Chain A
Amino acid sequence: MQPATATLAADGVRILLAGDWVLAQAPALAGQVERLRRQVGASTVLDASGIGRLDTAGASLLLQLDEDSGRTDRFDGLGAHQRELLATVARAMRAHAAAPRRPNGLIELLANAGKAVEHFWRDLTELVGFIGLILSALARSLVLPQRWRVTSLFFHIEQTGLNAVPIVALLSFLVGAVVAFLGATILRDFGATVFTVELISYSFLREFGVLLTAIMVAGRSGSAFTAQIGSMKAREEVDAIRTMGLSPVEVLVLPRVLALLIAMPLLSFLAMVAGIIGGAMVCVYTLDISPGMFLHRLQEMTQVRHFWVGMIKAPLFAFLIAAIGCLEGFKVSGSAESVGAHTTSSVVQSIFVVILVDALAAIFFMEIGW
C-alpha cells in the first residue's frame, strides 16, 4: 500500500494528490486535508493523477478538500471508475449536508428536565387510568363467576405467595434480630432493656412486617409481572388476545392483582411473626428476658390495633405493586431491551410508591390517634 499524500506544489496553484486514498490511510490523511483545505481556492488545480486505490473514505476526504462542493470535475486525472465512485459519494454526502446539529448543552439540559417532568406526569395519569381500568374490569367480572380465571389465580398465588415464604420469613427474622440488638444497646444505658419488647412488636406490627414484605414482593413479583406481560407484548401475544375478543386486562391483569391481594396480607402476617421471633431470640439470649416473660409483656403492653394498622396497608400495597408491574409490562415496545428497561422502572416505581404511601399512612394514623 502506497502512503497517501496531499501536498501543495511549488507553483502554489496545484495540489498534488498521490498514493492509496483508502480507509487505512485516513487517520494520517485527515490532518493533511484539514491543513490544506484553507489554501484551496477557485483557481486551485486539484491533481489527482497520482492516486492509486480509492475507496469511499478516501473519496469523502477528497470532497472535503474541495469544501464539499460535490463537483467531481474539479479533480484532474481520475479514472472513470474512480470518478463514478466520487460522484456516488458526493450524492450520498449532499443528502446529509443538512443533517441536524446537536443543540448546545444548556438547552439540552432544560429540554431533558422538561421531558422528565412531562414523563413523570404522563406516568402518573397513566397509572391512575390503569387503576380505573382494573377496578372496572374487576367489578364486571365479579358478577360473572364463569369468567373467573381460577387456575391462573392459583398459579399466581403459588408464584407470588407460597414461593416467597422462605425469603420473606428469613429476611424479617434477621431484621427483627437487628432491631432488637439496636434497642437493647441503646435502652441498656437507661436501664430500660425490657422496653425492647415493645420496640420490636410496635415496629414489626405497624411498619416493618408489611414494608419488608412489600419491598420483597416488588422486587420478586412486580418485576416478574412486568417481564411476563412485557415479553408477551413484544411478541404481539397481547394483540393476539385482543383479536380473539378477550380483554388483556381481564385475562392477564386481574388474576395477578387478585393473587397479590390474597398473598400479600398472608406474607405480611408471616413477616410480622418471623420478625418478632427474631427479636425474641435476641431478647432471650443476650438480655435477661425469658420467652415466657417476652410473651407476657407482648400481650400486656401491645394493643391489637397496632396489628391492624400494619395489616390494613398490605392489600393497598399489593394492589399498587401489581398495578405498576402490569402497567409497565404493557408499556413495553418491540425490543428485548425495552423489557429490561421497563422491569427496572417497575421495581423502582413500586418501591417508591410503597414508601410514599407508607409515610402518608403513618401521618394519618398518628393524627387519628391510633
Chain B
Amino acid sequence: MTVEVRLPNILRPMAGGEPTVNAEGASLREVFDDLVRRYPALRSSLLTPDGEMHRHLNVFVNDDDVRYLGKLDAKVGDADTVTLMPAVAGG
C-alpha cells in the first residue's frame, strides 16, 4: 500500500526538502520503517531508540491521531494520508 506522508517544516530537510513523500506499508510501523529506509536522517525524529513513537511527534492517519488508534500498530490503507505534526502549545 502506498500512502502520502505530509511532513512539517522541521522534518523536510531530512527527506529531500519536499512537503510530502510517499511510503509503503499496511501499518504505521511499516510506513515508518519504509520512511527510515528511504530517508535514514528521519529515524531519530520518528522513533525513540527503543522503537517507540517520538514523544513530541503527533501522527495522524487522515485526520485521526494514532495515539488513540493503536499507535505504531494503527492500520493504514491505500490512498490514506499520514500527517506528521510537532507537538506545540496553544492558549
Our verdict on whether A and B bind, yes or no, reads: no
